[in-house]
């Protein structure tokens, strides 16, 4: 009995010595300095310890004053205990430490939020809420941690790089904290980003040693502190802590329901499923319950060595979410395009059949109109004969009424679909191609501004793939009208009857032969002019030529009469044989030397 009593006394003495001499360590900075201005506090539910400044604790706003207890010490709880959750960090695979809630309702380590670039805080003093939307989502799973023991979690979360120049080592923040590789600039230094991380090769050895020691001491203390505190607390103290914890959780539930909804980006931000540590744990648990082995791929330790040395290793391509979405979207678009093509083809066949019917009706109506015009002409001629007979009976010439006057037959222009030498009073509604002579595909006919003929785009040589673009001062000519090359032609401005001007290519005339006996006149500026048959060419200077072109153009009928007169062949033509080829000819193709 005395021996057992001695053992109990020894255990009690050790417990009292631990409670008296143990040192609290901050989970964020791994520091053990506890001052009045920045005291290390401990969660009364999970036992985690942290500096007030490192966690953003505000005693006035984060506490509920006790009214049912006379104890002056108010219990304190971390955010995870207030919400009653066992969180999983979104930025690393480790589950130990102290957490903060994001604006989207997820959780991250405080140390991860401080050291990962791109993570922001809504309130810098309280370090909440944490915002992850400003960080580039391509960082998730982009790099592999060189310190993770389980390779299945090496690409989860976000890895940071060593701050040493040209170093290619990557690791999780909590993995670097476990190795004592995190450092912070002094408070006196005014730096925008005072948090640094170095790999094992670039970190200070003594600094790394004491941080590693404090981390191991913190982990061992967190494992035994809850058991020791439960033995020391009285039932009244435990009931008081439970009551306060329920009050905090009710308050947290109310604030979670009333807080505004977090901002969500409009475009989709894809993230690989393998970058979520919580998802991998759930899949591993599911595989365990289903009896499926998760050790399908052997663990390759060379990846960690390669990542530490900075060497890149070739990896097999994987079916990422981006590729799957692209493949499915491409298939859907191909199906839609095929359906659209089939619909357009059916519509085209339908319109072509309707066009054939309309062409048949159009031809019938043209024939009927032609018959009516013939009947009208016959009746008009009979009426004129009768009117002439009446004039002979009366003995004087009577004025012919307007109804019996023959309409002026006009020659349809080529623009209206008429052909030279054939006159018709029928208006041409359908234009015919000047090459294939067909009136199909009216929307594929293009008008030549020189010969006024229509051509199918496919009938031209070379064929056109689209309609030629016409502007105010530029027109289109077919290949027959534009045979002259650039060195044989000259550009001149032509004024149309409607007052608009356009550029037109004019072919230069042949150079006049001058005998050597005759002394040529002094060379002047470039000469332009026109001549009619039997008249000599007049030499006109550029200024006079420009003045003639500025003059008002002649009326259309007068110009047509002049062109008709000019085109009349000469009555007596003595040039009937070429002296070179001995072939027949006339003034059209013979030149006198």
Same domain, 136 and 213: yes
DSSP labels for 528-548? B----TTSPPPPB-HHHHHHH
Residue 461 lies in a domain: yes
Same domain, 212 and 75: yes
Q: What is the largest CA-CA distance in the chain?
A: 173
Same domain, 398 and 435: no
Cβ–Cβ under 8 Å, residues 97 and 115: no
pLDDT tens digit sequence for 299-322 = 444 444 444 444 444 444 556 778
pLDDT tens digit sequence for 261-304 = 877 777 767 788 889 999 999 999 998 898 887 765 444 444 44
Same domain, 92 and 209: yes
Average pLDDT, the chain: 75
Residue 99 lies in a domain: yes
Residue 61: name the closest of 51, 73, 76, 49 by CA: 76
Residue 249 lies in a domain: yes
Burial of 161 (0-12, 13-18, 19+ CB in 10 A): middle
Last residue of a domain, one of 203, 227, 258: 258
Q: Report how many domains make up the chain.
A: 3
Same domain, 222 and 95: yes
- Sign, CA torsion 562/565/570/575: positive
Residue 355 lies in a domain: yes
pLDDT confidence of residue 366? 86
The CATH number assigned to the domain holding 86 equals 3.30.40.10
Upper half-sphere CA count for residue 18 (Cβ side, 13 Å): 15
The residue segments making up the domain with residue 376 are 321-404
Same domain, 199 and 60: yes
Same domain, 327 and 475: no
Same domain, 389 and 440: no
Last residue of a domain, one of 218, 242, 258: 258
Interhelix angle for 2-21 vs 205-232, to 10°? 130
Same domain, 369 and 448: no
Residue 226 lies in a domain: yes
Other C-beta atoms lying within 10 Å of the C-beta of residue 281: 16
Instruction: Flag residues of the chain having pLDDT under 50.
Output: 1-21, 60-61, 63-72, 297-316, 414-426, 484-489, 507, 509-510, 512-513, 519, 522-544, 546-551, 563-565, 567-568, 570-571
Residue 511 lies in a domain: no
pLDDT confidence of residue 324? 84
Last residue of a domain, one of 446, 469, 484: 484
d(CA 17, CA 299): 45
Same domain, 333 and 479: no
Residue 185 lies in a domain: yes
d(CA 302, CA 304): 5
Residue 74 lies in a domain: yes
pTM value > 0.75: no
Same domain, 98 and 226: yes
pLDDT confidence of residue 411? 56
Same domain, 390 and 479: no
């Amino acid at each position: 009995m005395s021996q057992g009593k001695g053992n109990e006394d020894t255990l009690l003495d050790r417990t009292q010595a631990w409670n008296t001499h143990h040192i609290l360590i901050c989970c964020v900075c791994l520091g053990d300095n506890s001052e009045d201005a920045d005291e290390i506090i401990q969660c009364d539910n999970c036992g985690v310890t942290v500096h007030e400044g490192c966690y953003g604790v505000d005693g006035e706003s984060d506490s509920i004053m006790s009214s049912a207890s006379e104890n002056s010490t108010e219990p304190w709880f971390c955010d995870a205990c207030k919400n009653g959750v066992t969180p999983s960090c979104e930025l690393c695979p480790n589950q130990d430490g102290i957490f903060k809630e994001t604006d989207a309702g997820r959780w991250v380590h405080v140390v991860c939020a401080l050291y990962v670039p791109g993570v922001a805080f809504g309130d810098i003093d309280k370090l909440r809420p944490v915002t992850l939307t400003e960080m580039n989502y391509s960082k998730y799973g982009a790099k592999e941690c060189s310190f993770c023991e389980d390779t299945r979690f090496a690409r989860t979360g976000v890895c940071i790089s060593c701050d040493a120049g040209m170093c290619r080592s990557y690791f999780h923040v909590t993995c670097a904290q476990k190795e004592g590789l995190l450092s912070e600039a002094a408070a006196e230094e005014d730096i925008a980003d005072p948090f640094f991380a170095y790999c094992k090769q670039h970190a200070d050895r003594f600094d790394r040693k004491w941080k590693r020691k404090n981390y191991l001491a913190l982990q061992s203390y967190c494992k035994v502190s809850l058991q020791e505190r439960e033995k020391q607390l009285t039932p009244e103290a435990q009931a008081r802590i439970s009551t306060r914890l329920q009050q905090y959780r009710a308050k947290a539930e109310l604030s979670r329901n009333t807080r505004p909804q977090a901002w969500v980006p409009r475009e989709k931000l894809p993230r690989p499923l393998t970058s979520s540590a919580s998802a991998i744990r759930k899949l591993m648990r599911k595989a365990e319950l289903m009896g499926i082995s998760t050790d399908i791929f052997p663990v390759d330790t060379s990846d960690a060595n390669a990542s530490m040395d900075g060497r890149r290793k070739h990896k097999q391509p994987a079916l990422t979410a981006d590729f799957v979405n692209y493949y499915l979207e491409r298939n859907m678009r191909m199906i839609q395009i095929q359906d659209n093509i089939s619909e357009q083809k059916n519509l085209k066949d339908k319109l072509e059949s309707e066009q054939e019917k309309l062409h048949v009706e159009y031809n019938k109506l043209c024939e009927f109109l032609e018959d009516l015009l013939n009947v009208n002409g016959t009746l008009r001629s009979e009426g004129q004969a009768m009117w002439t007979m009446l004039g002979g009976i009366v003995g004087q010439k009577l004025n012919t009424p307007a109804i019996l006057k023959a309409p002026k037959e006009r020659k349809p222009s080529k623009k209206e679909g008429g052909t030279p030498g054939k006159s018709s009073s029928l208006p041409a509604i359908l234009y015919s191609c000047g090459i294939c002579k067909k009136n199909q595909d009216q929307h594929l006919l293009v008008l030549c501004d020189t010969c006024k003929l229509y051509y199918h785009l496919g009938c031209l040589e070379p064929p056109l793939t689209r309609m030629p673009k016409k502007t105010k001062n530029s027109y289109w000519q077919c290949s027959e009208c534009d045979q002259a090359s650039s060195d044989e032609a000259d550009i001149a401005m032509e004024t149309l009857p409607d007052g608009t001007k356009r550029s037109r290519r004019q072919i230069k005339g042949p150079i006049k032969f001058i005998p050597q006996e005759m002394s040529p006149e002094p060379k002047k500026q470039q000469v332009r002019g026109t001549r009619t048959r039997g008249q000599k060419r007049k030499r006109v200077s550029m200024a006079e030529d420009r003045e003639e072109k500025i003059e008002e153009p002649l009326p259309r009928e007068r110009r047509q009469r002049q062109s008709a007169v000019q085109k009349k062949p000469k009555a007596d033509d003595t040039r009937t044989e070429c002296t070179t080829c001995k072939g027949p000819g006339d003034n059209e193709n013979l030149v006198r030397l």
